[in-house]
Amino acid sequence: MHIEDYDIEKEKNKKLFKSSKSPRKQILLGHTSRNIDDYLKSISLRHNGKYTSIPHFLIAKNGDIINLVQPIFTTNLFGYESIDNDNISIFLENEG
Question: At a CB cut-off of 8 Å and minimum separation 6, what does 25 contact?
Answer: 86, 87
* pTM for this model (two decimals): 0.78
Per-residue pLDDT tens over the stretch 33-91 = 999 999 888 887 776 666 778 889 999 999 999 988 888 888 888 888 888 888 899 99
Q: Is 68:56 a contact under the CB 8 Å cutoff? A: yes
